[in-house]
Structure 1
Amino acid sequence: MELSVLNIKGEDTGRKVTLSDAVFGVEPNEHAMYLDVKQYLANQRQGTHKAKERNEVAGSTKKIKKQKGTGGARAGSIKSPVFIGGGRVFGPKPRNYSFKLNKKLKEVARLSALSLLARDNRVALVESFTFETPKTKEIKSILSNLQSTGKTLVVLPSLDKNVVLSGRNLPKVKVSTAKDLNTFDLLNVEKVLLIEESVNVLENLYSEK
């Protein structure tokens, strides 16, 4: 698959880059992508939720009425879950939601996501650019020139602090490096802008040796 390289004005530079089939042309594995996204979202959960059970709420344990002869159901402690202010039955407790996935499966998931984006023509190649100082207005202008107005992922070959800070204030834009890509970010955008040099980084990371 060949893609034309665009400059920051959205113009074709006349150069083309051939994307490796080992990275951008694999058969998407939907289950692998599902598991990787599930793990990513699970890892975002704090797991600090807590509800008090009947042995933890404040209240008397005195029997509130006699066992028989009232015409109603028998009742013991006011801390019973059936009463207002009582404990909760099977309430949430603090827990760790994270789980393990094999590195190979996570790699398959990322390659599947990249191939899916390439197949749907949602990947664009852009010439390398940088800013002397963080400028949100400048990266917004670049995205406008590239006709990328929806959710966009900008993939850098290496960390550029000024570019990262420039895109941080834009709610629909995320800036990441090629080695830090994850399946959730790839599937959660409408378009991926690959800086030209990041293609080589991805191919070196994921191509079969």
Structure 2
Amino acid sequence: MTTKNAKIILFIATALSFTGCDAVVDPLLFERQTIETGSFRGIQIGSSKMDVLRQVKTLGAYAVKPIPRTYFEITAGSIKEIDKLRQAEGIRITDHRGLAIDLKFDSGSVKLIRRSVPAKDNSWFFENQIIDDVITEIRKRFNEHPSLVVFPIVFYEGDGWVNVTGSLDEPIKTLRPYDAWTFGIASDKPGGSHFDLYFDGDRLTKINYRRERIRLD
């Protein structure tokens, strides 16, 4: 696709987005597929996590990162969905001013707290606080700070991308405890592709694939 045609498509997609036609816009910008049987680009549904990691490396990925198995985003307008955070290993509470508070849960209570610099003196949450009290506190803070956003995160050593270009012995130790991974293939034309992998136990059950249809350099 030429740059001129890509710009035309992007212009049309932008115009449509303002009319609320997201169902039309998305296919213009992205190719999306969900795979739950068979294989896709060498990644086999039903494979073990170790075998999937080998397949991902063969595909050409540089790094893999754990992601939440279930994603949600709670705002002041969707506070009724706040009980979803009970499904999460951890959550981040953030706003547009740089506040960020990460809570890790274990056995129904807070086990670890990380705070950004703007939140270093924040005292909304504390270790061993039960999830019911966390939910009550978040509800209260939404009333005072309606710009807050809450979404799930995972905690793991390194808290970044896991390099998979060399031996996979250490990467699989890091990734095995997690039931959802993500990675990208930058060389896929024109703008790269993204894979989200979902596991049930040790077996791959679903692949969500997204490829950008245009790229403007």
Tell me the TM-score normalized by structure 2: 0.22
> Which structure has the bigger radius of gyration?
1
| Structure with greater proportional strand content | 2
* Larger relative contact order, structure 1 or 2 (CA cutoff 8 Å, min sep 6): 2
